[in-house]
Structures are given as C-alpha cells and as structure tokens.
Amino acid sequence: MNQIRRMFIVSIMITIANGNKSMYCTYSRNRKHKLIAHCENQGFTSVPRNLSRDINELIISHNLIRNLQNNSFVHYVKMEILILSKNLVSEIQKDAFAGLHLLKVLKVNDNLINITVLPKGVFRHLSHLIDLDISRNKKPLNENTTFVYPDGAFSTLRSLQNLSIDLFMFPEFGAGFSSLQNLTVLKFSRCYLRNSSRFRLLNSTFKHFSTNLKELYISGCRNFFLLEDGLLEYFPHLKILDLSESYVHLYQALRILRPFQNKNMSVINFHHISDSSINEDDFPYSVVITVELIKYLRTICIEALDLSKTGIVDYQQNSLFAFEHPACFKTFIISANRLPATTTYSSQVFSFFEKAINMKVYDCSYLTIDYAHPVYINVYHTEAFYQYLKSTKYFQIPARLGQKLFDSSINRIS
C-alpha cells in the first residue's frame, strides 16, 4: 500500500464557535493510523476544547493564541505531538500542560515567550517529552546583564533528548540543567551574541549540561564574539559540532577542538565562521593555516568537514592536509577560500587523497574570486548539490585517482 493510501485522510470538519467567528479543524491519519487534528491558520485565540479525545497530534500553529491557561489540554491525554509554533503566546501557566503525560514532541517556537519568567515546574507533567523547541521567542530588553535560563522550569524534563532554544548575551545555565541527563542534541536556533561589554562564552558556560551530549549547534551568530579555549570540555562525546555562519573566526574554532583529539566525529561544520567584517591583528580576515593551529583538528577521525568561506589564503607544509586519519573522510568542503595552487601545494593535496580512500565528495570550488550567487554544498546532504554540478567549478584530479575517490563525484562532469 503506497504512502497516500496509508494517510486515510478523513474529510470531517469540526466547527468551533468563538464569538462571531467560526473556525475549522480537519482530521487525518498518519502512517500508524493515529489521529491528527489540523487547526492551523484559523484565527484561534485559545486552545479548542471539543476536539476528539483520541487525537495523537494537534497542529495549531499560525493562530492568535496569547495565553496557555491551566488545563488547556486536559482532555487530550493520548496526545504525543503538540505544535504551537507561530502564535502570540506570551504566558504559560503552571498547569497548562496537565494531562499530557504521553507527550513526546512540543514545539512552542516563534512566539513571544519570555523564558526567564516560565513558572518553576511548568513542564513537570511532560514526563515522556523527548523533543522541545522553545526557540525564536522574546528578546530581552537589557542585553548587557546576565541572562539566567530558568533551570527550575527545565529540570523536570528528565527524558528530554533534543532541546532548541535561543542563545543570549551572558548566558547562565543553572544546576537544574544537570537533570537533563538524556539530552543528546542542543541547538541554539537564534543567536544574540556579540563582542561588547567584554563578553565571551566562558569555559564554564555549559558545565551543568550532560556530558552525553552528541550534537551542538551554535549557528547564525552574525557578530564576532570571543570563545574561551575550554568551552567544549564538558562535551567529550560530541559527534557533531556546527558553528556555521557564526563569526567566531577560524582561529578560535580550531582552538576549542582540544577535547576531541584522537576521537571520532561525524560532522564539523565551520562554514563561513570568518568574515570580512572581522579583520584585526589577532583575527585577520586572511587566514594562514599553521601546524600549531591545526594540531587538534588533524588528530580527529572526521567523516565530514566543512571549512568553506573561512578566509584561508595559505597553509604551511604538513598542516591543512596532514590529517592523521584520512581514511575517515567521506566529505571535505573547502570552497570559497583563496587557496594557492602551485605544484608544491598540489602534491600535498594528492598525498592526502591517496590515503583518503573513502572520500565521496571533495569541494574546493569558488577559488580566487568572489561569485555573485555561490551555491554551497550542504555538508549534511551532499547529494542535493549534484543538480548544480554542471554550473560550478571543481577540482580536477588525475584519472587514476578519480574512480577510486569519487564514485558519484564532482570530477565526473564532462
């Protein structure tokens, strides 16, 4: 049975009176034949109370809900997924989520929530929650004071595995976050960090988070800010580190890799972490890779590495391509830099590729000049780039290495 037939879309409409306006929810079934209520874009100002009590998922995004009052969902005890994205929610009462003891996914992103005033224990009813997105909410008025994340609100989420939240200036994550021992993914979806008032992300910033964290995303910080070298010491088991589009400069990014020496990592994404807006003596726009700078990175067994648009103009002998575990590589993206292309440098690249026997994608396009509309490979989904191959520049390697290194590769374009 194909996917369309499995959906069992039910053409039942529910009309709910709300003043003079009627709003409609529709039902459908997912692949497991569980009931989904679709109530998005209907102008709801409160959570409807007379939906089917058998709903497994409620999608009530893009409405006008301002407050989540106590017992708003008490009738929907079978619900596992609740999508409240893009409303006007600014207040969540302490027992708003009462009855949702089976809930696994909660998305309250893109609202007006001031998370510092979340009631203590507001999530205590959500004992099985594994995925919480509370990002893209209200920005604090005073950005030059400590931003205290309410650990009393989050500490009851002992089953939580994925947390998406915003990153503010002078962040303080209290001891309550140590209760989130099952947390494996921490994503800062919106970033307000910048280099002012002597701000820096401290070595102690993440000390209360679980050492079991596997994925950390601090992306989209479009202002330069400082990182202390020991920032990631509390995450020794990290597999994915994504700083893409955060202007921390490549020098700092390479220095914080110390905890991962001689370990395995799936993805290191440093795309566009150096920018032309950053050009100081300590952090020049033109980056020269030295043996000292690369000393941590070169020891890591990496499957996918993205160093695109990081300002690299040169590299010393035995630095940029002198990885100790080249056979680990499947993807290496170093596009939009200004790499030298002399015979001496090329020999280092060829030496690396002879050992990188599992490499599938190597991208060093957009060299030497700026392109108006560059198309970058997504380090997580390299296959999506293939449609653009005929219009891009690519690094041509000798025919004797081509089939060996690129089974579905860039250099196969004629």
pLDDT digits (tens, 9 = 90+) for 205-240: 999 999 999 999 999 999 999 999 999 999 999 999
**Do the domain assignments include residue 202?**
no
∠ CA 65-70-72 to the nearest 5 degrees? 55
Helices (H), 48-170: 151-154
pLDDT (mean) for 104-113: 98
Chosen domain end from 94, 113, 132? 113
Q: Which two tokens stand for residue 396?
A: 């041509």
Q: Are 76 and 100 in contact (CB under 8 A)?
A: yes
Query: Which of 1-5, 163-167, 263-267 has the weakest average pLDDT?
Result: 1-5
Burial class (CB in 10 A: 0-12, 13-18, 19+), 197: exposed
Domain boundary among 87, 113, 139: 113
- Residue 6 CA from chain centroid, whole number: 31
Query: Do residues 264 and 405 both lie within one domain?
Result: yes
Examine residue 208 and state whether it is found in any structural domain, yes or no: no
Does residue 314 sit within a domain? yes
Confidence of residue 371 (pLDDT cuts 50, 70, 90): confident
141 within domain boundaries: no
The predicted model scores a pTM of 0.88
382, part of any domain? yes
Has residue 402 got a pLDDT over 50? Answer: no
Q: Which two tokens stand for residue 102?
A: 């089976």
**Tokens standing for 156?**
């009851």
Q: Contact, 227 vs 205, CB < 8 A? A: no
Q: Domain limits at 51?
A: 1-113
Q: Could you report the per-residue pLDDT of 334-363, keeping only the tens digit for each?
A: 999 988 876 677 888 889 999 999 999 999
The answer to whether 180 and 151 are in contact (CB under 8 A) is: no
pLDDT of res. 316: 92
Q: Worst-scoring range by mean pLDDT, 119-128, 189-198, 297-306, 367-376?
A: 367-376
At residue 388, the pLDDT reads 55
Domain end position, chosen among 77, 96, 113: 113
CA–CA separation, 352 and 304 (whole Å): 15
By the 8 A CB rule, do 21 and 42 touch?
Answer: no
The Cβ of residue 388 has, within 10 Å, a number of other Cβ atoms equal to: 12
Strand runs labelled E in 93-230: 105-107, 131-133, 147-149, 162-167, 171-173, 185-191, 200-201, 215-218, 226-227
In angstroms, the Cα distances linking 387 to 305, 367, 383, 391, 402 are 21, 20, 8, 9, 20
Instruction: Give residue 96's pLDDT band: very low, low, confident or very high (50, 70, 90).
Output: very high
| Strand (E) or helix (H) holding 401 | helix 399-405
Instruction: Please tell me the distance from the alpha carbon of residue 76 to that of residue 70, in angstroms, as a whole number.
Output: 14
The partner residues of 218 in beta bridges, in order of sequence, read 188
3-state helix, strand and coil shares in percent for the chain, rounded to the nearest 5: 15, 25, 60
Return the pLDDT at 385. 66
Tell me the CATH number at 55: 3.80.10.10
Per the structure, the count of domains in the chain is 2
- Whether 24 maps to a domain, the answer reads yes
pLDDT at residue 79 is higher than 90: yes
Q: Using pLDDT thresholds of 50, 70 and 90, give the confidence band for residue 23.
A: confident
In a domain, 169, yes or no: no
The tokens describing 111, both together, are 């609202």
Could you give the 3-state DSSP secondary structure of residue 348? helix
Instruction: State residue 412's pLDDT score.
Output: 31
Residue type, 109: N
Residue 313 has pLDDT above 90, yes or no: yes
Rounded distance between C-alpha atoms, residue 55 and residue 37, angstroms:
7
Chain centroid to Cα 383, Å, comes to 19
Instruction: Summarize the confidence of residues 94-115 as an average pLDDT.
Output: 98
Tell whether the model's pLDDT for residue 35 goes beyond 70: yes
**pLDDT band of 9, cuts 50, 70, 90:** very low
In this structure, the answer to whether residues 277 and 414 fall within a common structural domain is yes
Give the span between the Cα atoms of 191 and 289, in whole angstroms. Answer: 28
Least confident of 39-43, 66-70, 151-155, 366-370: 366-370
Domain assignment present for residue 179? The answer is no
Instruction: State the average pLDDT over residues 306-332.
Output: 96
Distances in Å between the Cα of 214 and the Cα atoms of 240, 285, 394, 406 are 6, 31, 33, 29
Confidence of residue 244 (pLDDT cuts 50, 70, 90): very high
Q: What is the mean pLDDT of residues 129-138?
A: 97
> Which pair of tokens denotes residue 122?
């507001």
